[in-house]
């Protein structure tokens, strides 16, 4: 939740233009249009094409673009802006919704026999890592630069740190705490940043579907090891182009097993690469056991990873928190035979949700003790990475 009011960008806003921090809102981004050409538009777009709305105001803007409001006509340029903005619109539910759903999620976790987690890039944005499909995501920026020129590309906040490594976020630490308490049995992640294992998740409790930037493996004997530094920083051996993705997976290190002399390879799965079978098999096995799946920071659009969230016991009790719609949202809102909603759907930041969930699970006394231990955990992270 933001700490300050935001101004609604719809010039015909009927709610006083102010969006309080506790209210629902929509953040969007179209493309760059010079200020001189934005005169007369119904949306007060920023220079990089960003805008912010009450939920109802955004719906009215979309209706205008569709031509369903005959008394107001939009120019073609603004219609194009709105159509573009719809593709990556980010939604944030109200504080009331967060409180209600956090309570529901805490109950689901407590009552679950086999809850698993499923995470994507959205849980690492608070650590300073960009996501992919958000309004300032990597693919969004690439697309807008390609289509509209560099003036449209914005890379969000410039996060400064004295460290040369990233730290687990509140959500990373909450997942580890829930696993340590026995409330989460297994974790499936699409992320390669290594933050889950840094937070404490053991190797036998996680499937990193797309690899880990800090883990390398021998191409001869299969030895795997974790490194303090990212595996892309060493270049001491002849390069070898991968026939599937075209990248060089060699890290520059050789195997430490006497007599092996194999080359160490990074474990990153690029486009064109095949998922490691044992990693996917373990994810699938645990997905089939699940009675609750906690999905955080993912749009669930990457196959075959997305299919794992509905393999479990019926009914599929799916919990999803991110800023954008997913193909699985309807699962969250299904009703059981008693008329109760079986899952939960929350739009917004994962850290914001997990702070509430952890308060409901730990209680006010224990939550303070756990959160106050953050400095000690950071010291341990620093020792691991340096």
Q: Which residues are annotated as a binding site?
A: 218, 221, 245, 260
Q: Which residues make up each annotated binding site for Zn(2+)?
A: 218, 221, 245, 260
* CA separation for the pair 85, 347 (Å, rounded): 17
Q: Is the dihedral of CA 28, 33, 35, 36 positive or negative?
A: negative
Q: Is the dihedral of CA 120, 122, 123, 128 positive or negative?
A: positive
Is-catalytic flag, 210?
yes
Q: Which helix (H) or strand (E) holds 253?
A: strand 250-254
Nearest alpha-carbon partner for 28 in 3, 1, 65, 53: 53
Q: Please give the DSSP secondary-structure letter assigned to residue 248.
A: B
Q: Is the dihedral of CA 227, 229, 235, 240 positive or negative?
A: positive
Whether 292 contacts 304, CB under 8 Å: no
Of the residues 136, 165, 210, 249, which is catalytic?
210
* CA separation for the pair 346, 29 (Å, rounded): 21
| Residue tagged 């182009």 (tokens) | 241
Strands 317-322 and 250-254: unpaired
* CA separation for the pair 134, 154 (Å, rounded): 12
| Cβ-based burial of 330 (10 A; exposed 0-12, middle 13-18, buried ≥19) | exposed
Q: What is each CA distance from 342 to 265, 337, 357, in whole angstroms?
A: 43, 10, 17
| Residue tagged 């003790």 (tokens) | 369
Nearest alpha-carbon partner for 130 in 154, 162, 146, 161: 154
b (16+ CB within 10 A) / e for 114-137: bbbbbbbbbbbbbbbbbbbbbbbb
Whether 230 contacts 192, CB under 8 Å: no
Query: Which residues are part of the catalytic machinery?
Result: 210
């Amino acid at each position: 939740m933001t700490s300050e009011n935001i101004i609604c960008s719809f010039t015909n806003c009927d709610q006083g233009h102010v969006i309080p921090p506790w209210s629902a809102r929509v953040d969007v981004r179209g493309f760059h249009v010079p200020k001189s050409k934005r005169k007369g538009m119904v949306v007060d777009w920023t220079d990089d094409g960003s805008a912010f709305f009450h939920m109802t105001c955004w719906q009215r803007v979309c209706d205008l673009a569709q031509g369903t409001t005959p008394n107001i006509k939009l120019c073609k340029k603004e219609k194009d802006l709105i159509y573009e903005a719809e593709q990556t619109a980010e939604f944030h539910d109200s504080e009331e919704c967060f409180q209600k759903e956090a309570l529901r999620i805490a109950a689901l976790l407590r009552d679950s026999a086999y809850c698993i987690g499923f995470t994507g890039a959205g849980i690492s944005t608070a650590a300073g890592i960009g996501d992919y499909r958000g309004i300032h995501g990597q693919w969004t920026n690439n697309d807008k630069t390609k289509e509209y020129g560099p003036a449209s590309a914005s890379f969000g906040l410039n996060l400064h740190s004295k460290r040369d490594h990233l730290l687990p976020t509140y959500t990373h630490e909450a997942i580890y705490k829930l696993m340590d308490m026995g409330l989460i049995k297994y974790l499936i992640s699409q992320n390669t940043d290594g933050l889950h294992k840094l937070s404490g998740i053991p190797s036998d409790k996680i499937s990193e579907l797309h690899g880990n930037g800090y883990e390398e493996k021998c191409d001869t004997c299969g030895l795997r090891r974790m490194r303090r530094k990212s595996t892309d920083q060493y270049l001491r051996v002849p390069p070898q182009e991968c026939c599937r993705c075209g990248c060089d997976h060699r890290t520059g290190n050789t195997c430490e097993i006497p007599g092996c002399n194999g080359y160490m390879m990074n474990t990153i799965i690029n486009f064109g690469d095949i998922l490691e079978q044992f990693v996917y098999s373990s994810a699938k096995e645990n997905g089939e056991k699940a009675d609750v799946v906690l999905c955080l920071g993912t749009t669930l659009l990457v196959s075959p990873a997305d299919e794992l969230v509905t393999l479990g016991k019926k009914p599929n009790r799916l919990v999803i928190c991110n800023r954008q719609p997913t193909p699985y949202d309807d699962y969250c809102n299904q009703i059981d035979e008693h008329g109760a909603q079986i899952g939960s759907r929350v739009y917004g930041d994962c850290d914001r949700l997990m702070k509430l969930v952890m308060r409901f699970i730990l209680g006010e006394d224990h939550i303070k003790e756990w959160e106050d231990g953050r400095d000690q955990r950071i010291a341990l992270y620093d020792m691991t990475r340096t």
